[in-house]
Structures are given as structure tokens and as C-alpha cells.
Amino acid sequence: MLIIVSGAPGTGKSTLAHRLARSLGCPVISRDEIREGIVHAGTPDPSFRHTYRTFVDTVSSLVTAGVTVIAEAAFQDGPWQPLLSLGPTLVIRCVAEPSVAANRVVVRAAHPGAPLGVREWVPIAASLPTLIVDTTSGYSPDFPEVLAFAGQTPLG
């Protein structure tokens, strides 16, 4: 199964994805962590194409091998479509008050590249089971509900 954790920068995707992975016993494949590794290695990737291909190939390989994977990135509608057809897929969309998300991005300031603002971000438009989680202050719905959603077996 593929569990996509998406949302605009600063909405708590990484934190939630890693917490879910520890609870479910599955790996997180993070687009930002792949990007950071590529930058650290000195590999030229000005358009993020290498990062994108590596991310999609890694997630695809694991899901095809029967591994439940949490794929974490600021997924937007469009370029991520190849992942949406791998098999059973759930989407957890993180949201937060714009000022909170912006402050988190400023405090973090660790990821290479210019972050997209909360208001410019466009969610995945697919008919997949989707749970919206507000991370402005904790989790709403609370973490046990998010975990229950992530632990279900979706149709498709």
C-alpha cells in the first residue's frame, strides 16, 4: 500500500510521516531528504528532475515489491500522477494556518530551494481516500484517528 503524506511547506508533513512510519512499521521515503542527499553529494540538479526521478523510482520499486510505503512530499496535482496508479493508495493532506506554516519554514530553513507558499500550493485532485489533518496546534483529528485511517486497507 502507498500512503501519501502531502501538504504545503511548513504544514507538518515530515513530522507526521515519520511518526506514522514508526507506528506502522514501514519506511518513509521523503522527497526533501532525497533532495538533501543529492545536494550533499554535489550532484547537479538545478531543476529537481534527478530528485523527482529518484523519489518516484524508489517509491515505485518498494510498492511494487509489496512494501507499504509512506511517501512524503509537497505533492501537488500533476507531476505525481505515476505514483497514484501503483495500487492501493491513501492520501493524508496536512494543513496549517498560513502564518504558522510560514513560521515553520523560516525556523526550519534547512531544505534547498525556494519553498512554495501555503496559498500557492495546489492539492492532489484524485478520487482517493483522503484525510485532512490540521497540524496548526497538535493534530486534528488526533493521532490515533490518523493512525486508524493510515492502517486501513483501501479499495483499488
Percent of the chain with pLDDT over 90: 46
User: From the CB of residue 155, how many other CB atoms can be counted at a distance below 10 Å?
Assistant: 6
pTM for the complete prediction? Answer: 0.84
Domains of the chain listed by start with CATH number: 2-150 (3.40.50.300)
Q: Residue 28 pairs with which residues in a beta bridge?
A: 70
pLDDT at 33 over 80: yes
> In this predicted model, which residue has the larger pLDDT, 35 or 142?
142
Name the pLDDT band for 65 (thresholds 50, 70, 90): very high
